[in-house]
Amino acid sequence: MEDDLQILFVYGSLRPALAQGESLRLVADLEQLGAASVPGDLYDLGDYPGMVAGSGRVWGDLLRVSNRERFDQLDDYEECRGNPPLFRRVRLTARRTDGSCCSAWAYLYAGSVASGRHLPDGDYAAHLKRGRARRP
């Protein structure tokens, strides 16, 4: 049985298929555990997506994070320690495509999404493929 404390749900720039630069360095060697979804609402915030608590589903990937140091690096990337923080890491229940569930860490956006664009299908990768992501 896998250690749920090491599982991270990613839905934006940390998804292996979307990662570039710093985010790619952070996730390139992490074990990919497959696609999943978590409860929440997803917004395009311009430079990146943000997930907030909500009644929808957000789609992404599960990764195994091997050590606390890597979580610290991921928290720094997501600016969890800012004043105020940009994101906060929380525990959610992830549902895999086979219907099984596990507990996973995920980054929730800590700011206002009022100026963001709601993505009702909860899939940032699909949103980018449609070519509708806002560019700075």
| Domain ranges across the chain | 4-127
pLDDT of residue 6: 93
Unique residue bearing structure tokens 């493929």: 129
Task: Compute the average pLDDT of residues 73-83.
Answer: 95
Q: How would residue 133 be classed by pLDDT, with cut points 50, 70 and 90? A: very low
Task: Report the mean per-residue pLDDT for the chain.
Answer: 93
Answer yes or no: is pLDDT of 71 > 60.
yes
Please say whether the beta carbons of 53 and 109 come within 8 A: no
pLDDT of residue 1: 37
Answer yes or no: is pLDDT of 5 > 90.
no
Distance of CA 123 to the CA centre of its chain: 10
CB neighbour list of residue 56: distance below 8 Å, 6 or more residues apart = 39, 40, 41, 42, 120, 122
The model's pLDDT over 17-67, given as tens digits with 9 standing for 90+, comes to: 999 999 999 999 999 999 999 999 999 999 999 999 999 999 999 999 988
Please say whether the beta carbons of 60 and 121 come within 8 A: no
Question: pTM of the predicted model, to two decimals?
Answer: 0.92
Q: Determine the CATH number of domain 4-127.
A: 3.10.490.10
